[in-house]
Chains A and B, each alone.
Chain A
Amino acid sequence: MSRRAHPRAPWFLAVPGLVALAFLVLPLIALLLQAPWPDFLGIVSSPAAMAALRLSLITSITATALVAILGIPLAWLLARQVLPATGLLRALVLVPLLLPPVVGGVALLAALGRRGLIGQVLYQWFGIQFPFTTLGVVLAEAFVAMPFLVITMEGGFRSLDRRYEEVAATLGARSWTTLRRITLPMVAPSLVAGLVLCWARALGEFGATITFAGNFPGVTQTMPLAVYAGLETDRSVAIALSILLLAVSVTVLISLRGRYLAGRSA
């Protein structure tokens, strides 16, 4: 593959394409230019910022794990069309992706709030309450992030050549062994891509979190909420926290780049 495959792009693709690129990159450059660099370390290493970062990392990783445990089986069910009306179910899975996250938060309150459909049973029988807890943050993040994993993994499962699984079965492998040794390794690129997308979405979650879980430092105030609260008082704090969040995301993407890009181009 030559490095300059298309030395002359037609102008009607080059111009809008470059405008799109500038549109995506310029705001981030502006953010870096406005950063309060002399105070940057002091702001991001403050106990409040560290608490928000720690909470963000814990909740986004937990949410991604929860999504993996529940979402990978769902992706498999959809890909193999073992459920009735798979097309409809696939559309339903996409809804949280298209929904404004705030609406997701309201829906979560309606379902899992203390007076919610399921939430009231959990509260009355077991005293479990999700709003205003860190677990509530995890649920909000998992709700908005799960479709990313399910859709990516479903594509992976569907494009898999099923003859490998059938051969494994004829050689006496049980279904669990086939899944673990044949299917999952073959969809690994989709799995990694799906998990990264899911985690990034969970890390950036704002609307559903503040609506469902509230805003309290150290308990439910994740980085995006801290950035928003920072805007109320000190813009430079908000910008510094934004850059920290940006740095965390970029670091993770770069460290996973090899496998992630391989998954995309495969």
Chain B
Amino acid sequence: MLSGVRRKRLVAIASSAWIVLALGATPAHAVQAAAEGPTGTLTVSAAASLSDVFPRIAEAFTRRYPGTTITFNFGGSSTLVNQVIGGAPVDVLATASEPTMWKAVNAGVANRPWLFARNTMAIAMPPDNPARITTLADLTRPGVLVGICAVEVPCGAAARDLLAKNRLAITPVTRELDVRTLLAKVVSGDLDAGIVYVTDVRAVGRQVASVSIPHADNVTTTYPIATVGRTSNPRLATEFVHYVRFSTSAQGLLRAYGFARPW
């Protein structure tokens, strides 16, 4: 019965999303949605690698549900999880790996998580590629300044797995605590290379050059999203989680930013 209700709602969301896409949000439609849909304010803690796409998804969501406001807290996934465990007033949690999310679930602060996106790794270099990196193995050359994420955050765990999978040993010069600060040091030219997500490379465009890693050698990380147990607005939180997972606009934006389907 529950699944039936859910499916109906999904159909409703999907179809109205299509209408929004096709016609733009007309005032009449907006009023109707406001009367039916959830209202209120939502605080979403999301992995740093989502800091470009999630605001766009929130824009689409608040167009779909006028009267809602979404504020974001972006950071390293493990930092976000610790904040939620420590009692941060957050309604929805989206991390860049399953182990970080399970930590929140096992601590009893997050409800059942759902996967909504997948990411893979790439090498980012300053646009002029000063160390002439062309393959993953080039990162092992002495004198190349390579940055990775700290192993506690998902991008660092993924980098470790990537190097292990390719039997490469590198000595990074820094272990940054989230992927965007690592990327910033590549953009500024202070690092010769950084192991980041493919979506990060896409997000900053021509500010970096990049080397893509062949699928067979690459590793993936999947992104779970969950409502936080003590949210003051469970209806809106659940609606946002559904929207991210199933709406054509949210999934379309995720594809546009380079995220793959999780399944």
Q: A residues within 8 Å of B by Cβ?
A: 109, 113-115, 129, 131-132, 210-211, 214-217, 219-220, 228-229, 231-233, 235
Contact = CB atoms under 8 A, between A and B. Distances in A.
Contacts of A215: 150, 174-177
A220 B189 CA distance: 19
Interface residues of B, number: 22
Contact of A229 (B150, B172, B185, B188): B150
A197 B145 CA distance: 35
Given A229-B152, A232-B76, A214 B189 contact: no
A71 to B, nearest CB: 27
B224 to A, nearest CB: 18
B147 interface: yes
A33 to B, nearest CB: 16
Interface of B: 76, 78-79, 82, 126, 145, 147, 150, 152-153, 172-177, 181, 185, 188-191
Nearest to B77: A232
B131 to A, nearest CB: 12
Nearest to A220: B174
B189 to A, nearest CB: 4
Nearest to A136: B190
A216 B177 contact: no
Contacts of B189: 113-115
Which of A115, A129, A214, A216 has most B Cβ within 10 Å? A214
A232 B174 contact: no
A221 B245 CA distance: 39
Contacts of A129: 145, 190
A71 B164 CA distance: 48
Which of A132, A220, A232, A235 has most B Cβ within 10 Å? A232
A228 B172 CA distance: 19
Contacts of B78: 232-233
Nearest to A216: B174
A229 B153 CA distance: 10
Contact of A132 (B76, B150, B190): B190
A132 B174 contact: yes
20 contacts: A109-B190, A114-B188, A114-B189, A114-B190, A115-B188, A115-B190, A131-B190, A132-B145, A132-B191, A211-B181, A214-B147, A214-B174, A214-B175, A214-B176, A215-B177, A229-B177, A232-B82, A232-B153, A232-B177, A233-B78
A131 B147 CA distance: 12
A216 B147 CA distance: 10
A168 to B, nearest CB: 49
Contacts of B174: 132, 214-216, 220
Given A132-B147, A231-B82, 18 more contacts: A109-B188, A114-B189, A115-B188, A131-B185, A131-B190, A132-B190, A211-B181, A214-B176, A215-B174, A215-B176, A216-B172, A216-B175, A217-B175, A229-B150, A231-B79, A232-B78, A232-B82, A232-B150
Contact of B79 (A114, A132, A232): A232
Contacts of B185: 131, 214
A233 B177 contact: no
Contacts of B177: 210, 215, 228-229, 232
Nearest to B175: A215
Nearest to B173: A132
B16 to A, nearest CB: 40
A113 B174 CA distance: 15
Contacts of A219: 173
Contacts of B147: 132, 214
Report the 10 A-B pairs with minimum CB-CB distance, sorted nearest first.
A214-B174, A115-B189, A232-B152, A132-B173, A232-B78, A131-B190, A113-B190, A114-B190, A233-B152, A216-B174
Nearest to A229: B150
A210 B150 CA distance: 13
A210 B190 CA distance: 13
Contacts of A216: 172-175
Nearest to B126: A115
Which of B82, B147, B150, B173 has most A Cβ within 10 Å? B173
A116 B205 CA distance: 21
Which of B172, B190, B191 has most A Cβ within 10 Å? B190
Contacts of A217: 175
